[in-house]
């Protein structure tokens, strides 16, 4: 009787174990749940990203990143292209211009693989905008031209006009005003533009080009005509009104400019944004300068600087937040991968246990009818139960070891992430210091300008202008260092070219004196770049003051090249020259004395070469020994 009771108990235990194993397997079967395809989830995330694009760009970037992973998983190239464009828009809102450039290049490559001409043209314009935001004007203009060339064979007048307007706008943004004006006039006479309703937009671009070149009377002619005919959005009318106010300021019409600014402030209530608010502040600054209200102008200028700093700080905070979100996503993905691997291993173990339980149930049912094998059946069942218990203990031990290793790896990843965030914060602080030094030097430059306007002594005015030139040179060095962190290809030639162009514009001779700059040398440290920039500033200013003082045309050449163990700065002009066979004998001005002092600081020497015009050579070797302190 006891033997029969034992058999019934063993059979009941086997049946219940078999039922529980089946229930666990059914609960982990993916076919038993309602699933959503990857492409549908990607489209839903794109919609969420676009919905919060303007209010929360960080969350928008997170949605777009997840959508991109799902689009890649789905294998839909068109959906992946759409997701990349959404990701680029989020990066633009966040001010992550370096990431925007990488995304634009990837989007263009995908469009080229798809072979869609419309996608390629649109992506070329986005790439041009990314280059412009990263201060690469040459590449920005080239990609804008490529976009126009791509749409011309399509014979779509609307698309062609849009690409033409984009090219003119790119030339305007990159500072190529003469080329922009010629291109706009050529497009205006073309067949596609003459039959289009986009002519007011092109006329507005022409007016903005004329404003940039200070041709206020010509610009006002276009703007007055547009004010009577334009029936656009509030944003377009705000831009037109502010441009009219700028033209009035340039023409000296104070009351008309005041009325235009008031109208723009009314439109600002419906088109409020940081750029529009900053535009109003710039107009207030120009009005204060025109009326001679220098205290108001200075306070307005400081307000503009503080607004720019606040925007930069906000963009920095968004980039840090984006980095934290990216790290959290990667960590979550890693945790999900580990969890999936663990679930797969558990499923295999459960499946093996299920087959063992089925075998045990069949074996017990067969032996249930065999009275002779009762003893052996019970003994075998107990043995199998002990083996299963040992296996479960081994599995639990392995699971605990794997879990401990995973925790240790997570702690190591957390320490590595904290180290990376700390290094990036240091780099951002250094960049912010250089940026603030540059802003402070610009404030000093503005103060000297205001002081010079109140002084009528020409000698004092000359001394103040020379001091302003040196201050601008030092500010450009700090700006060069600030931008070199995000632009590795910003070399010495670009820096010197920007310096001499600013000096030409400051002296008003950019239309009759041409400049050639050659500097094929590796990047120089700030200890060398600062005195070298001041030397070029002094030599260039002296040439403009004495070599071309009679209003004649001229050319100035600046060459920096390797020489021996150091470098050589060769400066020459084709002006009237120094007027003596021994230049060093009469050269006692403060500027040239400063050049000699800076040359000694660079461990160099200054030589005056004979020939037509003035030629000065300075050899220096900053790496041979420590730079001397300036006396």
Distance of alpha carbon 518 from alpha carbon 499, whole angstroms: 13
Q: What is the pLDDT, as a whole number, of residue 570?
A: 92
Q: Domain for residue 599, yes or no?
A: yes
Q: What is the pLDDT, as a whole number, of residue 517?
A: 93
Tell the residue number behind the tokens 């041009």, with chain if given.
128
Q: What's the DSSP call for residue 203? A: H
Q: What is the pLDDT, as a whole number, of residue 557?
A: 93
Q: Domain for residue 280, yes or no?
A: no
Strands 513-519 and 554-563 come out as: parallel
Q: What is the pLDDT, as a whole number, of residue 556?
A: 92
10 near 381, Cβ under 8 Å? Answer: yes
Distance of alpha carbon 97 from alpha carbon 101, whole angstroms: 6
Q: What is the pLDDT, as a whole number, of residue 187?
A: 82
pLDDT one-digit tens code per residue, 15-65: 554 444 444 334 334 333 334 688 889 889 999 988 888 788 888 888 888
257 near 248, Cβ under 8 Å? Answer: yes
486 near 98, Cβ under 8 Å? Answer: yes
Q: How many domains in the chain? A: 1
Q: What is the pLDDT, as a whole number, of residue 585?
A: 37
CATH number of the domain within which 627 lies: 3.30.565.10
Q: What is the pLDDT, as a whole number, of residue 183?
A: 87
Alpha-carbon distances, residue 448 vs 300, 347, 441, 468, 545 (angstroms): 16, 78, 11, 7, 20
Across the strands, what pairs with 55?
Answer: none
Tell the residue number behind the tokens 């070199």, with chain if given.
484
| Structural Rg of the chain based on CA atoms | 37
Q: What is the pLDDT, as a whole number, of residue 548?
A: 81
Phi and psi at residue 114, to the nearest 5°: -70, -25
H-helix or E-strand containing 161? helix 157-173
Please count the helices (runs of H) and the strands (runs of E) in the chain. Answer: 22, 5
Q: Domain for residue 471, yes or no?
A: no
Q: What is the pLDDT, as a whole number, of residue 314?
A: 57
Provide the whole-model pTM.
Answer: 0.44
14 near 360, Cβ under 8 Å? Answer: yes
Q: What is the pLDDT, as a whole number, of residue 515?
A: 92
Distance of alpha carbon 207 from alpha carbon 220, whole angstroms: 7
Q: What is the pLDDT, as a whole number, of residue 568?
A: 92
H-helix or E-strand containing 378? helix 374-453
Q: Domain for residue 329, yes or no?
A: no
Distance of alpha carbon 103 from alpha carbon 579, whole angstroms: 58
Q: What is the pLDDT, as a whole number, of residue 583?
A: 44
The burial of 343, by beta-carbon neighbours within 10 Å (0-12 exposed, 13-18 middle, 19 or more buried), is given as exposed
The burial of 125, by beta-carbon neighbours within 10 Å (0-12 exposed, 13-18 middle, 19 or more buried), is given as buried
Q: Mention every residue, 6+ apart, whose C-beta is less than 8 A from residue 461.
A: 452, 455
Residues (pLDDT < 70) of the chain are 1-36, 191-198, 230-232, 272-274, 304, 306-336, 420-438, 441-443, 445, 447, 451-452, 461-462, 466, 470, 473, 477-490, 577-588, 623-631
Q: Domain for residue 12, yes or no?
A: no
DSSP letters for 43-66: HHHHHHHHHTTTT-HHHHHHHHHH
Q: Domain for residue 615, yes or no?
A: yes
Q: Domain for residue 603, yes or no?
A: yes
Q: Domain for residue 514, yes or no?
A: yes
88 near 107, Cβ under 8 Å? Answer: yes
Domain containing 598: what range?
A: 500-631
Q: What is the pLDDT, as a whole number, of residue 558?
A: 94
Q: What is the pLDDT, as a whole number, of residue 291?
A: 77
The dihedral of CA 84, 86, 87, 93: what is its sign?
positive
Rounded to the nearest 5 percent, the helix, strand and coil shares of the chain are 75, 5, 20
80 near 71, Cβ under 8 Å? Answer: yes
């Amino acid at each position: 009787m006891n033997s029969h009771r034992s058999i019934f108990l063993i059979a009941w235990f086997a049946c219940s174990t078999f039922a529980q194993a089946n229930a666990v397997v059914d609960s982990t079967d993916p076919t038993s749940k309602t699933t959503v395809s990857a492409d549908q989830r990607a489209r839903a995330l794109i919609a969420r990203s676009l919905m919060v694009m303007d209010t929360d760009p960080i969350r928008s970037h997170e949605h777009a990143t997840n959508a991109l992973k799902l689009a890649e998983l789905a294998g839909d190239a068109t959906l992946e292209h759409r997701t990349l464009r959404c990701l680029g828009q989020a990066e633009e809102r966040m001010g992550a211009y370096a990431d925007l450039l990488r995304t634009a290049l990837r989007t263009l490559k995908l469009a080229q693989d798809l072979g869609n001409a419309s996608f390629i043209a649109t992506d070329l314009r986005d790439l041009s905008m990314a280059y412009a935001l990263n201060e690469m004007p040459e590449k920005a203009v080239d990609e804008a031209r490529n976009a126009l060339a791509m749409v011309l064979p399509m014979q779509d007048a609307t698309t062609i006009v849009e690409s033409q307007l984009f090219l003119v706008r790119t030339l305007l943004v990159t500072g190529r005003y003469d080329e922009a004006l010629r291109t706009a006039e050529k497009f205006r006479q073309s067949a596609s533009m003459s039959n289009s309703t986009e002519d007011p937009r092109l006329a507005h671009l022409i007016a903005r080009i004329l404003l940039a070149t200070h041709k206020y009377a010509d610009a006002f002619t276009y703007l007055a005509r547009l004010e009577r005919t334009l029936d656009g959005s509030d944003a377009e009318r705000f831009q037109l009104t502010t441009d009219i106010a700028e033209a009035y300021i340039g023409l000296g019409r104070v009351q008309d400019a005041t009325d235009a600014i008031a109208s723009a402030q009314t439109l600002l209530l419906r088109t409020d944004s940081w750029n529009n608010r900053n535009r109003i502040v710039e107009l207030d600054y120009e009005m204060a300068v025109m009326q001679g209200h220098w205290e108001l102008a200075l306070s307005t200028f400081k307000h503009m600087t503080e607004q720019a700093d606040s925007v930069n700080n906000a963009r920095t905070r968004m980039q840090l937040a984006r980095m934290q979100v990216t790290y959290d996503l990667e960590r979550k993905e890693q945790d999900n991968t580990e969890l999936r691997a663990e679930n797969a291993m558990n499923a295999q173990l459960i499946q093996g246990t299920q087959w063992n339980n089925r075998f045990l149930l069949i074996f017990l049912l067969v032996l249930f009818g065999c009275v002779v094998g009762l003893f052996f059946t019970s003994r075998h069942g107990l043995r199998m139960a002990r083996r299963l218990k040992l296996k479960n203990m081994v599995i639990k031990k392995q699971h605990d070891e794997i879990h401990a290793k995973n925790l240790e790896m997570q702690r190591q990843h957390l320490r590595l992430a904290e180290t990376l965030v700390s290094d990036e914060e240091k780099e951002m602080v250094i960049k912010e210091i250089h940026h603030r030094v540059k802003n402070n030097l610009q404030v000093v430059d503005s103060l000297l300008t205001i002081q010079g306007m109140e002084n009528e002594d020409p000698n004092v005015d000359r001394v103040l202008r020379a001091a302003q030139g040196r201050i601008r040179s030092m500010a450009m060095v700090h700006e060069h260092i600030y931008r070199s962190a995000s632009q590795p290809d910003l070399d010495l030639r670009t820096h010197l070219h920007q310096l001499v162009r600013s000096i030409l514009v400051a002296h008003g001779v950019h239309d009759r004196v041409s400049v050639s700059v050659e500097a094929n040398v590796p990047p120089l440290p700030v200890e060398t770049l600062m005195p070298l920039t001041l030397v070029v500033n002094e030599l260039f200013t002296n040439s403009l003051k004495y070599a071309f003082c009679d209003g004649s045309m001229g050319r100035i050449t600046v060459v920096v090249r390797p020489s021996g163990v150091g470098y050589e700065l060769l400066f020459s002009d084709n002006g009237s020259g120094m007027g003596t066979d021994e230049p060093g004998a009469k050269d006692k001005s403060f500027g040239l004395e400063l050049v000699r002092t800076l040359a000694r600081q660079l461990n160099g020497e200054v030589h005056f070469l004979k020939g037509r015009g003035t030629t000065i050579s300075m050899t220096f070797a900053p790496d041979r020994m420590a730079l001397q302190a300036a006396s």
